[in-house]
Homo-oligomer: A and B are copies of this chain.
């Protein structure tokens, strides 16, 4: 059994020793820069942890796990071009630091590198792993498209939104877990169940991200509060508020959200105040809790050894920043 810490270390070391810089440097330097950003390495850790939970050899899962992480970072790189985002985790984005062409082509190359790591799967499991990876990659692209569509679509519903974040965020979390299960030769039913666990976990994770954008503390959240409000993002909070708002509240909400005249600082303040007044914070916490509980129940339905599930709970706590 491996601790969460040791798995994180294994992934960190694997990335440090991989060496992504080759000729032509104009192509590979943005890739090394992107993969150097680090972060929690949540997805590859989930691959290893799931592999471990199902009694597999985690050493055989390191390369495919890295493939998932490289794919994830590729999507962030291309999403940042599409969203015209200047910063990612406090550092300049690739299209900002280099240019759009560098960001497109080094992104494409990262996508190939992701497949190279996936290809290092045991040949016996490769067809299943490749199908899972392809299916996931396609869904993530579809999720990004829906996310972009929603920017100009006026009648986005909460089910629309949940389907979008399922595709854009949750399926890759789910894929990571299922990948670990496949590599551990888990029973197909168990691989499906851990995938569904991942979907619930991923939904809760994205909703928490929405929540923290309005109600988090900058120091813990790692980015400025109100970014979603400034960029008029139709998050769960926004959609729930617009679903519930009536009369004066609806007028205020619309004005503050879209008014060109007010400062961004004021917009954020007023919108968050309205959210609180409408108990959007509580409603969102309940929704997160709902998906989180479903995930926990699924995890408990497996007959893993207690010390093994403990590490998974530990990771979930790290993801959701709670005490046990």
Interface, chain A (partner B; CB < 8 A): 24, 26-27, 78, 81-82, 100-101, 104-105, 107-109, 111-113, 115-116, 119, 123, 126-127, 130-131, 134, 137-138, 141-142, 144-146, 148-149
Q: Are A119 and B134 in contact (CB under 8 A)?
A: yes
Q: A298–B101 Cα gap in the complex (Å)?
A: 38
Residues of chain B within 8 A of A146, CB atoms compared: 24
Residues of B within 8 A of A24 (CB): 142, 145-146, 149
Interface centre among A24, A78, A109, A148 (most CB of B within 10 A): A24
Complex formed: what's the CA distance from A144 to B113 in Å?
Answer: 16
- Closest residue of chain B to A133 (Cβ to Cβ) is B115
Which residues of B are found within 8 Å of A81, using beta-carbon distances? 100-101, 104
The residue in chain B whose Cβ has the minimal distance to the Cβ of A136 is B112
How far, in whole Å, are A104 and B148 apart by their CA atoms in the complex? Answer: 13
B78 touching A104 by the CB < 8 A rule? yes
Shortest CB distance A8–B (Å): 27
Chain B: minimal CB distance from A64 (Å): 13
Q: Which residue of B lies closest to A114 (CB)?
A: B134
Cross-interface CB contact of A145 among B105, B112, B116, B145, cutoff 8 Å:
B105
Which residues of the other chain, B, contact A105 by a CB distance below 8 angstroms? 78, 82, 141, 144-145, 148
Contact call B126/A130, Cβ cutoff below 8 A: yes
Residues A101 and B134 in contact in the complex (CB < 8 Å), given A111-B108, A111-B111, A142-B24: no
| Interface contact B115-A26, CB-CB below 8 Å | no
B-chain residues with CB within 8 Å of residue A101 when the two chains form the complex: 81-82, 148
Q: Which residue of B lies closest to A75 (CB)?
A: B108
Interface centre among A81, A101, A112, A149 (most CB of B within 10 A): A112
CA distance A306 to B130 in the complex (A): 39
